[in-house]
Amino acid sequence: MLTIYSEDHRLHHGAAELYRGRLVPCFEMPARAEQVLDRVKAAGLGAVVAPDPLDRAALARVHAEDYLAFLETAWDEWQALGETGDALPYAWPATGLRRDVPPEHIDGKLGFYSIDAAVPITAGTWRAITSSAACALTGARQIVEGAASAFALCRPPGHHAGARAMGGFCYLNNAAIAAQYLRDNGAGRVAILDVDYHHGNGTQSIFYDRGDVFFASLHGDPAVEYPFFLGHADERGEGDGLGANRNFPLPWGTSGADYLSALDAALADIAAFAPDMVVVSLGVDTFAEDPISHFKLHGPDFAEIGRRVAGLGRRTLFVMEGGYAVADIGANVAHVLTGFAGA
């Protein structure tokens, strides 16, 4: 299995995030991707290659042009204020406020194009997020060209990013961009399986009214877990997409065994959808020792996830999402991928 990786991710290194009322160092840090790279190499999974040059048009198949323009220019606008630290949003057009008049000031734009404050924009953010998306697109190209699987070692992650919104460490929705690329290049039907601990609200919203891309997600119940405002079991899609969205909210403390039962249900739905190709949003923040999550999965559970996904018998692109137990993130990702490859 080919791994696609770019060192550009290091250019994005947010200083701090708000966590339980305090500013703390960002959980989403460069060391995460370095650890994954090390362990994937050690596992002998296959070659590690650099991404193809980015085709910006592929981003615009998923994200609105005004949002892309915002991401590209946000740092310069922020710097023009004389600021040198990270740009962060602090005001949002929530209930009762207007969304129909886009703000002109960068402080307003940051809130207009985000769902929370966990999205620092730094000098290197645009380079890092476009390289991350390029990794996903290169993996998707491999799949289209016939590879049985590929691993896009994306950082920053993507699944909380919507068509016009960043959030939860995510700016460009790498999995959605890859899924759309697969649709545009030969796959009639694509399924996205999101096994990150958090609901993939961005991916769900991007495909919610479409019947050609199935989205299934297992995650901490939004009643008690970020992103709080999407990811409930009754969200089944709308219009042409009715029936093509499936959420499995699970309680804090969910064990490996209970998780794998829910995974089987998600995989049965995906098999019934009969996708041509599969994208897996691969977060390993379901790990028992993850510092911000509350499931109880261990190494063997991750290998089992890989094995069961392989049971679908479809060409599969893995796209890196979350996981913050930095010392273990690489081993857990490698377990999933070797579980898949050895199945």
Instruction: Kindly tell me which of 121 and 341 has the beta carbon lying closer to ligand 6XA.
Output: 121
Q: Which does 168 bind (CB under 5 to 8 A by kind): ligand 6XA, Zn ion, none?
A: ligand 6XA
Residue 196 binds to Zn ion (criterion: CB under 5 A): yes
Residue 285 binds to Zn ion (criterion: CB under 5 A): yes
Size of the site for ligand 6XA (CB under 6 A): 11
* C-alpha torsion 136→77→29→295, nearest 10: -70
Residue 196 binds to ligand 6XA (criterion: CB under 6 A): yes
Residue 118 binds to ligand 6XA (criterion: CB under 6 A): yes
Distance CA 343, CA 182 (A): 24
Instruction: Kindly tell me which of 34 and 285 has the beta carbon lying closer to Zn ion.
Output: 285
Cβ atoms of 255 and 231 within 8 Å: the answer is no
Smallest distance, ligand 6XA to C-beta of residue 104, A: 28
Instruction: Kindly tell me which of 142 and 217 has the beta carbon lying closer to ligand 6XA.
Output: 217
Instruction: Kindly tell me which of 8 and 28 has the beta carbon lying closer to ligand 6XA.
Output: 28
Distance CA 204, CA 279 (A): 13
Give the position of tokens 């991401």: 71
Helix 326-341 vs helix 299-310: crossing angle, to nearest 10: 30
Instruction: Kindly tell me which of 78 and 226 has the beta carbon lying closer to ligand 6XA.
Output: 226
Smallest distance, ligand 6XA to C-beta of residue 338, A: 22
Smallest distance, ligand 6XA to C-beta of residue 283, A: 5
Q: Indicate which single residue of 139, 220, 322, 330 sits in contact with ligand 6XA (rule: CB under 6 A).
A: 322
Q: How many CA atoms lie within 13 A of 300 on its CB side?
A: 3
Cβ atoms of 129 and 156 within 8 Å: the answer is yes
Radius of gyration from C-alpha coordinates of the chain: 18
Give residues 254-313 in contact with ligand 6XA (rule: CB under 6 A): 283, 285
Measured in degrees and rounded to the nearest 5, phi and psi for residue 269 equal -65, -40
Q: Indicate which single residue of 151, 226, 287, 340 sits in contact with ligand 6XA (rule: CB under 6 A).
A: 226
Instruction: Kindly tell me which of 142 and 174 has the beta carbon lying closer to Zn ion.
Output: 174
Active site residue 9: no
Q: Indicate which single residue of 202, 256, 322, 339 sits in contact with Zn ion (rule: CB under 5 A).
A: 322
Three-state DSSP at 71 gives: helix
Instruction: Kindly tell me which of 196 and 301 has the beta carbon lying closer to Zn ion.
Output: 196
Tell me the C-alpha to C-alpha distance, in Å, between residue 167 and each of 91, 111, 120, 126, 284. 13, 10, 9, 15, 18
Q: Which two tokens stand for residue 244?
A: 């093509």
Q: Which does 128 bind (CB under 5 to 8 A by kind): Zn ion, ligand 6XA, none?
A: none
Q: Indicate which single residue of 14, 89, 156, 168 sits in contact with ligand 6XA (rule: CB under 6 A).
A: 168
The 3-class SS string of 231-256 reads: CCCCCCCCHHHCCCEEEEEECCCCEH
Smallest distance, ligand 6XA to C-beta of residue 19, A: 6
Of 130, 152, 133, 143, which is closest to residue 49 (Cα–Cα)?
152
Cβ atoms of 258 and 297 within 8 Å: the answer is no
Smallest distance, ligand 6XA to C-beta of residue 17, A: 6
Q: Residues near 272 by Cβ (< 8 Å), separated by ≥ 6?
A: none
**Residue 106, class by beta-carbon neighbours within 10 Å (0-12 exposed, 13-18 middle, 19+ buried)?**
buried
Give residues 51-110 in contact with ligand 6XA (rule: CB under 6 A): none
Residues 9, 159, 160, 198: which is the catalytic one? 160
Q: Candidates 17-25, 191-199, 233-241, 269-277: pick the segment binding Zn ion (CB under 5 A).
A: 191-199
Binding site for ligand 6XA (CB under 6 A): 118, 160, 168-169, 196, 198, 226, 283, 285, 321-322
Catalytic sites, residue numbers: 160
Binding site for Zn ion (CB under 5 A): 196-198, 283, 285, 322
